[in-house]
C-alpha cells in the first residue's frame, strides 16, 4: 500500500473512533456542567444503546429507523431515571458521594445488562450494507460514513440547542451559576434531569455507531467510556469544543500509533500523550483556566 493510502486509512479509522470518543466525552461534559459530577456510568450508556438497538432490530424485528430512534430514546430515559432515582434523592450531599453513586449505578447497570443479554458477544449489523468504498486509496465502509455523519449532526444539533434555544441557554446559565439561575425562575432540577437524558442519548448514539465495528457485549462500554473520559480531560473537562477536539485527537493518535508502531501500544501512547498534555496544560486543550470568572 502506498504511503499516502496508508495515511488516509489511518485518518479515516482514527476519525471514526475519534467521533465515538467525542460523543462519549460530550456526554461527560453535559452532566459535569449541570452537576459537577463525573458520571462513571457514561460508558454503560454506550453498551445499553448497542444492546437495545440489537434487540429492537433482531429480537422485535423492527425496521432500522424506528429501532434506532427507540434505542436512543430508551437510553435517554435510562439516563433520566438514573438522575431521578439514584442521584436526586442524595442531591444535598457531598460531590464525592454523588460520584460514587454513579460508580454504583454503573456496576448495577452492567449486572442487569449481563442478566438480560448474557455474556456473549452479539452480532450487531451495520446501519447499511457493508459495501467496500475507496477514497484516496483508503478502504472503508458505509458505517464509517454513518459514524462521521451522525456525529457531525449530533454536534451541530447540540450547538444549535445551546446557542439558540431558550432551554439550551438556560442550561448554560445553570452551569455558570446554578444559584443565580434558580433566582431567574429556571427549573434547575428539571434541567439536570434533561442533561442526564441528553448524555444518555449521546451515549446511545456512540454505542449504536461503534459496536458494529468493534463488537457488542454488555461490558463494551467500559473501555470506550474510559477513552471518552480521557478525551474530555484532554480537551478540557466541561468544554464542549474541547470534548470534540479531545475525542478526535485521541482517536487519530490511537490509529496512527497502531498503524505506524504497533497496535499493542496504541492505548499506552494515547494515555502518555494525555499525561503530557495535562502536565503542560492542566486545564486541557480548550479548558478554562482556573480562577477565571
Partner 1 sequence: MLEVSGVHYFYGQARALSDVSLNLDRGEVVSLLGMNGAGKTTLLNILSGVLKPTRGQVLLDGNPAPKGPVALVRAGVVQVPEGRQVFAPLTVRENLEMGAYIRLKAGEKAAVARDLERMLALFPILGTRIGGRAGDLSGGEQQMLAMARGLMAAPRYLLLDEPSLGLSPKVAAEIFRVIRDLPATGCGVLLVEQNALGALSVSKRGFILTTGSIRFSGDPADILRDAQLREAFLGQACQPDLSRDGQTDAQAGQA
Q: Could you list the residues that contact partner 1 (CB under 8 A)?
A: 166, 169-170, 172-173, 176-177, 179-187, 292-293
Contact residues for 289 (Cβ-Cβ < 8 A; gap 6+): 283
Nearer to partner 1, 65 or 166 (CB): 166
Distance of closest approach, residue 232 Cβ to partner 1, in angstroms: 18
Judged by CB, which is closer to partner 1: 159, or 169?
169
Counting beta carbons within 10 angstroms of the beta carbon of residue 70, is it exposed (0 to 12), middle (13 to 18) or buried (19 or more)? middle
CB of 158 vs partner 1, minimal distance in Å: 16
User: What 3 state SS string does 231-274 have?
Assistant: HHHHHCCCCHHHHHHHHHHHHHHHHHHHHHCCHHHHHHHHHHHH
With respect to partner 1, which residue has the nearer C-beta, 141 or 193?
Answer: 193
Asked if 204 and 75 touch (Cβ cutoff 8 Å), the reply is yes
Contact 29, 198 (CB under 8 A): no
Alpha carbon distance 107, 41 (integer Å): 8
How many residues can be counted in the chain?
Answer: 293
User: Are the C-beta atoms of 249 and 18 separated by less than 8 Å?
Assistant: yes
**In angstroms, what is the minimal distance from the CB of 173 to partner 1?**
5
DSSP code, position 59: I
Bridge partners of 139, per DSSP, are 134
**Between residues 128 and 182, which has the closer beta carbon with respect to partner 1?**
182
Cβ nearer to partner 1, comparing 84 with 169: 169
Instruction: Pick between residue 124 and residue 181 the one whose CB is nearest to partner 1.
Output: 181
Report the interhelical angle of 42-54 vs 221-235 (nearest 10°).
Answer: 130
Q: How far is the CB of 287 from partner 1 (least distance, A)?
A: 13
Q: How far is the CB of 285 from partner 1 (least distance, A)?
A: 17
C-beta atoms surrounding 166 within 10 Å: 8
CB of 189 to partner 1, least distance (A): 9
CB of 167 to partner 1, least distance (A): 9
C-alpha cell at 135: 477514497
| Shorter beta-carbon distance to partner 1: residue 119 or 292 | 292
Amino acid at each position: 500500500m502506498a504511503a499516502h493510502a496508508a495515511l488516509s486509512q489511518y485518518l479515516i479509522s482514527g476519525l471514526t473512533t475519534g467521533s465515538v470518543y467525542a460523543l462519549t466525552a460530550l456526554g461527560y461534559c453535559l452532566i459535569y456542567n449541570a452537576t459537577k459530577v463525573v458520571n462513571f456510568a457514561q460508558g454503560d450508556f454506550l453498551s445499553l444503546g448497542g444492546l437495545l438497538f440489537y434487540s429492537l432490530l433482531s429480537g422485535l424485528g423492527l425496521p432500522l429507523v424506528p429501532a434506532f430512534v427507540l434505542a436512543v430514546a430508551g437510553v435517554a430515559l435510562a439516563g433520566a431515571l438514573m438522575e431521578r432515582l439514584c442521584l436526586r434523592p442524595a442531591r444535598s450531599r457531598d460531590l464525592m458521594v454523588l460520584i460514587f453513586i454513579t460508580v454504583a449505578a454503573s456496576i448495577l447497570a452492567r449486572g442487569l445488562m449481563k442478566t438480560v443479554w448474557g455474556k456473549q458477544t452479539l452480532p450487531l449489523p451495520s446501519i447499511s450494507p457493508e459495501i467496500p468504498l475507496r477514497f484516496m486509496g483508503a478502504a472503508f465502509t458505509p458505517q464509517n460514513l454513518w459514524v462521521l455523519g451522525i456525529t457531525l449532526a449530533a454536534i451541530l444539533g447540540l450547538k444549535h440547542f445551546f446557542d439558540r434555544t431558550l432551554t439550551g441557554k438556560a442550561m448554560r446559565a445553570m452551569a455558570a451559576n446554578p444559584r443565580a439561575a434558580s433566582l431567574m425562575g429556571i427549573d434547575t432540577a428539571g434541567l439536570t434531569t434533561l442533561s442526564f437524558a441528553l448524555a444518555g442519548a449521546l451515549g446511545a448514539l456512540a454505542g449504536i455507531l461503534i459496536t458494529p465495528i468493534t463488537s457488542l457485549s454488555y461490558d463494551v462500554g467500559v473501555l470506550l467510556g474510559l477513552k471518552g473520559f480521557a478525551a474530555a480531560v484532554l480537551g478540557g473537562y466541561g468544554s464542549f469544543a474541547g470534548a470534540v477536539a479531545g475525542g478526535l485527537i485521541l482517536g487519530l493518535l490511537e490509529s496512527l500509533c497502531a498503524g505506524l508502531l504497533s497496535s499493542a501500544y496504541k492505548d499506552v501512547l494515547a494515555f502518555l500523550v494525555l499525561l503530557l498534555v495535562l502536565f503542560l496544560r492542566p486545564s486541557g486543550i480548550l479548558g478554562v483556566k482556573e480562577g477565571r470568572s
